[in-house]
Amino acid sequence: MNVNKSKEKFDSIPFYPDHVRSEVRVVIGITAIVLLIGILGLIFPLGLGEPADPMNTPTHVKPEWYFLALYQLLKYIPKTAGAVLPVILVLLVLLWPFIDRKPETSKKVQRIRFIVVAVGMIALIALTIWGEVS
């Protein structure tokens, strides 16, 4: 049995000095490569064009279809109102059942709500189509 234990000692590599040393070499190598790329990037900067301007959208950029109405709306109203108004309207639609809790008895109020929703949907569809063709 003594022979097997001594053979196992010679077949294994100790973790602490050998493995740690090789890992430190790898970390130093990767750090050197990253530093080299960073320094080269500072010396020879590459740019794709002019810096981005969040208030000036290029004419060739169009959003996906579900944002076309908002995109078209931003063209005709001030930027701040165009960013805040849709959020307020969505919050109003989400909170309306909790705000208006009285039972409805009048057909006139239902008709007015139907007209408001119909006009809103027609405006949304029209802005989406208008945003696609513009």
Residues 120, 72 share a domain: yes
Q: Which domain holds residue 26?
A: 2-43
Q: Are residues 106 and 76 in the same domain?
A: yes
Please indicate, yes or no, if residue 54 is contained in any of the structural domains. no
The CA distance from 108 to 92, in Å, is: 22
Q: How many CB atoms lie within 10 A of CB 68?
A: 20
Please provide the DSSP assignment of 55-117 as one string. Answer: T---TT----GGGHHHHHHHHHS-HHHHHHHHHHHHHHHHHHHHH--SPP--HHHHHHHHHHH
Are 127 and 88 within one domain?
yes
CA dihedral over 84, 87, 89, 91, signed as positive or negative: negative
Residue 53 lies in a domain: no
Q: Residue 60 is which amino acid?
A: H
Predicted pLDDT at 4: 59
Query: Does the pLDDT at position 102 exceed 80?
Result: yes
Q: Do both 27 and 69 map to the same domain?
A: no
Residue 48 in any domain: the answer is no
pLDDT (tens digit, 9 = 90+) per residue, 22-40? Answer: 999 999 999 999 999 999 9
Please give the average per-residue pLDDT across 114-133, as a whole number: 94
How many structural domains does the chain have?
2
Cα angle vertex 39, ends 38, 44, to 5°?
100
